[in-house]
Structure 1
Amino acid sequence: MTGVLSKLALAAAIAAACIGARGAGLPLAGDLLYALPPEPMVRRALEALPQLRIGAMNNELASAEQSKLNAGPHEWLVRAGASQRRVAGEQRYREQEFGLERGVRWFGKADQDRAIGEKGITLAEAQRADVWHESCRTLMQDWYAALRAQATLQRLTEQHALVQQLKSVAERRVKAGDSPALEVMQADTELRRSEALVEQARQDVAQAVTLLSTTYQQLPVPQPDRLPEPQRAQDAMPERVARITQDNHELELAQTEAQLYGLKARRAASERMPDPTIAVRATRERDGQERTLGLMLSIPLPGQLRSSEAAAATVRARMADERVTQVRNKVQLDAQRAVSEERHSYQIWTSLRAVAEQSARQAQLMERAYQSGESSLADALLGRRQALDAALAAQTAQITALASSARVQLDAHALWSVD
């Protein structure tokens, strides 16, 4: 027990250091502070998810796209031809023609393509970071849902055992003639109700554990034993909100997309001036009696198509800028909601914990009064049911408070960071 307390104290110290200076601090010990699985297991489970593997492939795809943009759209073109010339009253002549041509990007188009390729790499990394963060959120939700189900089953099992004890007491009192037979029926009814609740809780646990084991094969089964106590947030709400909004994957992704669309819009605008094609041409005529060597330059005449594509790219860039504003507002609201939920969930847990302790004492007094013949079984069963409801509500609030705190740390990149 002393070892566990020392670990919790060490984890709390680590948490304080990370919250005060996240850039220089160590990652939070989520398994000790928030009843989460150990971080190495979490990382292995996340890396095995299909969406994260697709994210790694997306990085490879962005590298290939970058290579394509660096190479450019133009290729060398070789032309060769042979013909035969017939002149009246003269002999026939064999003639050959050779050509080598290639389009050339000008007016800084090659530099623009390289910038687009580099931004594509940045976008792929931002997409992978965003997918990682969303996967962490989903894992947390599934984990805490399973933890709540396990806690509910544990409480209902304890309640079922207590109801069995009360039924045994009622049977002894009825046999001794101290209570009416109706009390045995009341106890049996409550016992059957308790059995049904336990069975439903077992089903909920089985479904939650199956979801975890199927989706995250590296994770253990969550256990509600020795849940850590939630900690009150020490920093002011604006500071915690700022830590979330200043380094947010969703906002960074939207900003990177807007920057990429801006680069593409400028690239489309530069296409209004078409690329020239430079060609070298050599001919051999009249069996070599005449030879020519020339240089040719050809430029397409721009039309409405290029102007329309440039206008469409500009509109897409403006739309991406508007999405940045939309995402920024969403991130701000989500951060405020997460920090507010953390504070309120802590207050709710402290209140419900006091209620649960008082209800437990009342239930114990009612059971003793019933065993001594000072109250009825119905009063004892009612007190026990109220104590169960209060204990279950307090433990659920405790798990909710832990989940809210873990969510804030996750969004602030102090827990399970992709880097």
Structure 2
Amino acid sequence: MSTAAQQAYFDRTHSDDLIAFLGTSPSPYHAVASAAERLEKAGFRKVSETEAWDAAPGGRYLVRGGALIAWYLPEGAGPETPFRVVGTHTDSPNLRVKPVPDTGSAGWRQVAVEIYGGVPLNTWLDRDLGLSGRLALKDGSARLVQLDEPLLRVPQLAIHLDRSVNDGMKLDRQRHLTPIWGLGPVDEGSLIAYVAERAGLAAEDVVGWDLMTHDIQPASYLGRDRELLAAPRLDNLLSVHAGTAALAAVATSEGAAALPYIPVLAAFDHEETGSESDTGAQSPLLGNVLDRTIHARGGTPEDRARALAGTVCLSSDMGHAVHPNYPERHEPGHHPVPNGGPILKVNVNNRYATDGVGRAVFAAACEKAGVPWQTFVSNNAVACGTTIGPITAARLGIKTVDCGIAALSMHSARELCGAEDPHLLASALKAFLEG
């Protein structure tokens, strides 16, 4: 076993906790609850958007749906003190339950689903799927629900009935992705009644739902030396977990009271569909939080302008490792590899927000943390994805840098990364938040 492999095999505390986090976070709402639990253990307290905020030192967080904003006020923070923001997102591509979920065909009971985000459709075939999300109740409250059991399955057509399947599978998003969950005639109301019962509720009390499927196979280490991590929702719960761990570590460190910046974690929802929601990066959510913390400290518009002028955001999202079976799809001079450390994501057409100055900020954080880092640039002939980075930069006018870690199978029902990279990313984020 190589030295790097030995380190990945034995240094598992962070990745073990990531596996636990993924297991309790099958939906954005659960991811927020899991992150909030970790922050509360670090001394953070929950605040409400409808109540006045004070300026006492310490950690705070707020939750809005599938989004979470958390921050730590050092003792010496003035109204002009700039912020250090780690930006992430809580949502992942999947299959989501439609408003009228009960359907069926040819004697099968099925569940009507809508495709959320950029899904490689074939990766959801022949997987045992559970259900998770939230139920909206008559009294205005919401109840989280997580059913980690094999309830649903999208069965693939047998090769005997489609001999050309290996020549290129064609899946119709409406007809071919409807999961089965039993036999018999369509029973209207049965799915929500079942979910409500499992949540300890009466079906008539449920007036709305945001439910989605998730692969019930747990995350696990992979490979001869267990140096890889195979898991669902790495994009982008790995970054949410890393950002949460980094913020908690900074807030509980010996030097927390004297931090030169105000460290912030912004975990948005709906990045996979464009961020256009009240919990997405295009909303005023983060800006409002930063403004309110400035105002609570007696800040003026001048103080706000000064604070944001010195603010930097690291947008942390998954990136692409070089694929051994498709190396031609990657930029020849930039081949990020698993366990090679975080990646700096660059695109001159502003699909990523990184520029030369941002590169220096990222490099300084990695050097301070003592972690290696890599650079990702898309092949010129392959369209580049994007992140919350450019949105955040444009929305708030703050310096923003895009980073992440290298992975394979992005957006698949199950993704793959190096087992050491999550800890290396968290270490870099902590160093960045410390300033």
Larger radius of gyration: 1
Interval of TM-score (by shorter of Structure 1 and Structure 2): under 0.3
| Length-normalised TM-score, structure 2 | 0.18
Give the structure-1-normalised TM-score.
0.19
More helix by share: 1
